[in-house]
Every structure is written in C-alpha cells, then in structure tokens.
Structure 1
Amino acid sequence: MTTCEPGTDPAVLADGFVFAEGPRWRDGLLWLSDMHGEAVYTVDPDGRIEVRLALPGRKPSGLGFLPSGSVLVVSMTDRVLLRLDPDGTCSVHARLDALVTDELNDMVVAADGTAFVGSYPTGDDTGVLIRVDPDGTAAVAADGMRFPNGSAISPDGRTLIVAESKARCLTAFDLDPGGRLSGRRVVADDLGAAPDGIALDAEGAVWAAFPLAHEFRRISPGGEVTDRIATGERMAIACALGGADRRTLYLLSAANWHAATLAGARTSVVETLRVRVAGAGLP
C-alpha cells in the first residue's frame, strides 16, 4: 500500500544546484551539500536558499550536527571532516587521510556527536566506515563494505543502517552506547539497483535513492517496496524526511553524477512530496 499522499506529485522547492547531496532537516531548515557546486546551503519551507559555507576547490558531501549545534561537513577529496560553528567559524574537526586513501562520502551523526563516515572505493570496490568520536578521534568501525553510502540511525540509537551501493543491499549493525558496531547483517538485498542516500520513517521503512534506476523507493522492514517515485531523466541522489511534522519527503536529483559531464550546469533540484508516515531517527 502506498504511503504517499494520494493525488500528489513531487513539486520543485528549490533549484539551481550542480549536484545536490546529503539532505538533513534541522530546526526548520533543510541543509544540503552541493558536491560539484562546492558549497553547503540551507533551504527554508518557502524555497529560499542561503549559502552557509563556500568550499572552493573542495567537494562537500555528508552533513550532520553536533550537540552544540555545530555542523559537520565531509570534505571528500582531502579526506577531512570540517566543523562549521554557529558563529560561522570553519575548522578541521578530524583528519581521516591516515585511515583511508579513497575519497570520503556520506555520513550520519549520532545524537551524542559520534559520526560514521563512509569511503568512496575506487580500487577493489570495498570501502570502510570510519567512526569519529565527538572529540575528533577516529578509527575504522567496519571494513570490507562494498561502497558504504547513505546511512541512518534508528530512533532508539541502537541500530545503524548503511546502503551498500556496489552490493545493492541495505546492511545493519548493532550500535552500542560507546559507538562500537557489531552484529553485521543484511536487512534488504536483491534490490536490483544501487542504493544511495537514505532516510528512515516511523514504521521502520527506508526511503532510498536509486540513481541509475532513476527513482526513489520506500522499502519496508520485510524488504517489500511500497512506493516508487520516478525522476525521469534525472538521477535520484538522496532524500530526507522533514518539515514541522516530518512528513515532507525531500527528494534530491541531478542530471548526472560526473562533474565533467555536468560541466557546472545548475540543473540539480530539490523536490517535495507529502507522505503519510513521518520520519524517525537520524539524520
């Protein structure tokens, strides 16, 4: 049974991005990275766009928030985790280049400020998930992952779910209060396409973007696909559940994911769609 509001289609909220990625809802605003546009933005419910952090020469990706309100930003190519403080100061929160030689990618940040950052594997297709403690101390939390991509944490803080793009599956871990992972298991497989950015809802379902399938899907805890939202010629990149009641589904899509192909064209958009089941957990 579909969970999208009947008789509605996605509506464009904001456009003019090169490659919108990593959407996060926080305090009445949608935060997102423009990976190939080299900046971090916020968008309000009326579609007003504000540049929060310009990052020329860098590729921002995953976003998250510390308990202090500071924003963590993954800087992909130089393999660092940046921190944008409420006063506008930007500094390095953690350097991860000693742990990974590939680019960094998406991230989820737990309620206590512990971040889990995935790598973008370029060699044998296997990457790692890095745990970054609130003080910036970092260590590999899980290895042998086939392109760890979008990640989410359950409402009780005890489960971490990761989209493994190359394995075309969703993988879960038990997450203990110290940030340690165990009990690795596949919770949805045979997806038929590579999942990218994800979000959780209050029924335990995962909304996931499937770039090469050009659609977003809602996958129930049993693995059933309950909803499909086509993106036409654009690739589905990432999604988030936000709004005052967390029943607004934010859908980010782009014409392509290669910077050379995009050539700076600002064709990436943020669309919205109302759904019946509210978001839950993090991000």
Structure 2
Amino acid sequence: MSIKQEQYELNVLTSGLFFGEGPRWRDGKLYISDMLGKKVYTIDASGTKTVIAQMPHKPNGMGFLPNGDLILSSMHETRLYRYTPSGLELYADLCDVYTGYVGDMVIDHNGRIYVDDVGARVFEGEGLKPGRIVIVEPNGEVSVGVEDCNFPNGIVITPDQKTLVFVETFAERLSAVDIVDGKLENRRVLLDLTQVFPSPEDRARKRGCIDGICIDAEGGIWLSMLRAEQFMRINAQGQITDRIPMPGYECVACTLGGEDGKTLFMVSTKVDGDNIFEAMVNLRTETTIFTTRVEIGRGLGRP
C-alpha cells in the first residue's frame, strides 16, 4: 500500500456506553466490554446491543479460544472467566502475579493467553508504575512474559505468529517481542510516537499515547491515538499510511470485522475534563462506536 491520506466515511453503529474497551468481531457480531458500565455486549449490524454478561469488577480485554469459547477479564479482581450461556466460569486467577488491573489480551492459535497487567491501581489513586505482560498457558499455568512495561495496553500477534506487538501507553510507544515456544524474547521499540508528535504542545498533552490496536492481513496496525483525536494506520515497516480524524473524541480501541473483514470498528469516547481517570471514576464519559471501510482487511493475525 502506498502512503496516502484518505477521506473516510464514518457511520455510527451505536452509542450509549460509558467506556467501551476490548472490541472483538466474531460470527456476525461485535463483542465489546463497557468497562465503566460493568457489562459485556454483543452488537449486531443494526446497532442493537445485547447484554451477555454483568461484571461488577469491570470487564476489559477479551478473546476467543481456538474452540470458540469467549474469555472475559474481570479487571479489578484480576481474574479471567470463560463465558457460557449459563454464566461465567473462572478460567484463571492472576492475583498472585498482578500489581495492577487486567488490561487487554490476545489469544494465540494454541490457546495461550497473553494479557496485560497495567501495573498500578490508578482508579484508586495509585501513581503509575511498571506493569507486565502475563502468559496464561492452556493448562492454567501462569507466568510473567515481559517485565517493566509502561502501562501495557493494546496487544496483537502478527500474521506469521512470530511476533507479539503491544502498546506502552504513557511511554508513547509501540513495542515488540519475538514469540519463541510461547515465551517472549528480544524486546524492542517498534514505533516511537514522540517522534511522530514532536511539538511542545503535543508533548504536554501526550498526543502520542496509544490505547487499543488491531492488525490487518498485511501486518499493518491500526492505532487508537488516545489523546490525538485520530485513528492511525502504520504498515509493517512502521510508516504511517492512513489517518482518520476524530475531533473531540478520545480514541480508545478498534478492531477489524464485518463479512469481508474490511470494516474498521472505532471505539471513541467523549471525556468531560482534562484528567481521563477522574472523568472515568465520576462517569463523565460516553462512548460511540463508529465504523468505516478500509482497503486491507483482517488476516491471520490475532485477535
């Protein structure tokens, strides 16, 4: 794909969530956590929302096992649950490893889960501190894959299944590690957003902060630029190819789906005030999910 800036037609799929997170597409529906609303929804093509789970400790990231089972995170109690039509079943207890909350997750083709520990309990007033990427094996074994992550967030696996890419939100960067027999090695910076948004105003407002990400068939990654009011795509070489401006919105998360995999779902949130954590605690937020059509659709990457 040549580097270009397109005009994208935006459509509203639905609104009315407090703070949408962790969107995933499967079998004709969008699955999404309303973190602050403490519910998990499916949303059909008409925008109709259906509650599939109530989660009092706040849901966040989610993913599907190879057999199709949905795994949900319970953010504040640091546990993962398997969704069943009759209720939630405990899948993994991460309390012995975590110091912060459960963030995003990605599940590989073997059923191994890579899941964020953001490091600090920021909603309870704790200052930022290093987090980690935690690995949950299919047999339930839990280990730490990467230490000293600066608020780990959006997380994907490349189409060749060889690289895990994750966001370090407040370091304003995209990092990568090699996947070697399920372990994570050779950590490196994939993209430094402080170089993309270098002005003093950008630096003061941390416009290089990334939240959720998704990956396409060419290894291109769509970035939810939290404070820069845009979604942005980079190709596999780290070059910016596309921008979708979202003035007035915090860009929180995104995923590819639709019948042909070429619909980009963009989770965009209005925040009342400059401090996003204070606004979230006081429920001064509202999420709208937009869609647009893109050239490169989903591929073999995960999720």
| Secondary structure of the corresponding residue to residue 121 of structure 1 | coil
Q: Would you say 1:199 and 2:214 are equivalent positions?
A: yes
For structure 1, the residue ranges without an aligned partner over 5 or more in a row are none
Q: Percent identity?
A: 36
Contact 1:3 1:275 in 2 (8 A): no
- What amino acid is aligned across from residue 157 of structure 2 in structure 1? I
Q: How many Å separate the matches in 1 of 2:286 and 2:296?
A: 30
- Compared CA separation, residues 3 and 260, structure 1 to 2 (3 A): same
For residue 63 of structure 2, what is the aligned residue in structure 1? 64
How many angstroms apart in 1 are the aligned matches of 2:281 and 2:248? 14
CA contact (8 A) 1:125 1:166 kept: no
- Which residue matches 1:282? 302
1:187 is matched with 190
CA distance in 1, matches of 2:279, 2:169: 22
| Deviation (angstroms), 1:114 | 0.9
Cα distance in structure 1, aligned partners of 2:186 and 2:151 = 19
Structure 2 SS opposite 1:221: coil
1:158 aligns with 162
How far apart, CA to CA, are the structure 2 residues paired with 1:82 and 1:109? 14
Query: How far does residue 136 in structure 1 lie from its aligned partner after superposition?
Result: 2.1
Q: Over aligned residue pairs, what C-alpha RMSD do you find? A: 1.9
Matched, 1:30 2:30: yes
Read off the aligned partner of 1:155 and give its amino acid letter.
Answer: P
Which residue in the other structure is 1:172 paired with?
Answer: 176
* Cα contact 2:3–2:240 (8 A) shared by 1: no
CA distance in 1, matches of 2:144, 2:281: 33
Kindly state the Cα deviation for residue 230 of structure 1 after the two structures are TM-superposed: 1.7
> Which residue does 1:269 correspond to in 2?
288
Q: Give the unaligned 5+ runs of structure 2.
A: 121-126, 198-207
2 CA distance for matches of 1:151 and 1:34? Answer: 18
Deviation for aligned residue 1:9? 1.9
Cα shift at 1:121: 2.6
Contact 2:40–2:59 under 8 Å retained in 1: yes
Distance, in Å, in 2 between the alignment partners of 1:7 and 1:65 is 33
- Write 1 or 2 for the structure with the bigger share of helix: 2
SS in 2 for 1:30: strand
| Larger mean Cα displacement after TM superposition, 8-17 or 184-193 | 184-193
Q: Which amino acid aligns with 1:275?
A: V
1:126-148 Cα shifts (integer Å, max 9, x gaps): 11100011232211111011111
Contact 2:98/2:119 (8 A) holds in 1? no
Give the equivalent residue in structure 2 for 1:89.
Answer: 87
List structure 1 segments (4+ residues) > 6 angstroms apart after TM superposition: none
Contact 1:120 1:148 in 2 (8 A): yes
Distance in 2, Cα, partners of 1:17 & 1:3: 33
Shift of 1:78: 0.8
CA contact (8 A) 1:255 1:262 kept: no
1:250-261 counterparts in 2 under 5 A? 250-256=265-271, 257-258=276-277, 260-261=279-280
Give, in whole Å, the separation in 2 of the partners of 1:43 and 1:258. Answer: 26
C-alpha displacement of 1:112: 1.8
Q: Report the Cα distance in structure 2 between the residues aligned to 1:262 and 1:63, rounded to whole angstroms.
A: 22
Q: Is 1:53 the counterpart of 2:50 in the alignment?
A: no
- Alignment: residue pair count: 279
Aligned partner of residue 219 in structure 2, secondary structure: coil
Between the aligned partners of 1:58 and 1:18, the Cα distance in structure 2 is 15
> For residue 77 of structure 2, what is the aligned residue in structure 1?
78
The whole-number CA distance in structure 2 between the counterparts of 1:124 and 1:34 is 23
Is the contact made by 1:18 and 1:262 (CA closer than 8 Å) also made in structure 2?
no
- Say which SS state the counterpart of residue 109 (structure 2) adopts: coil
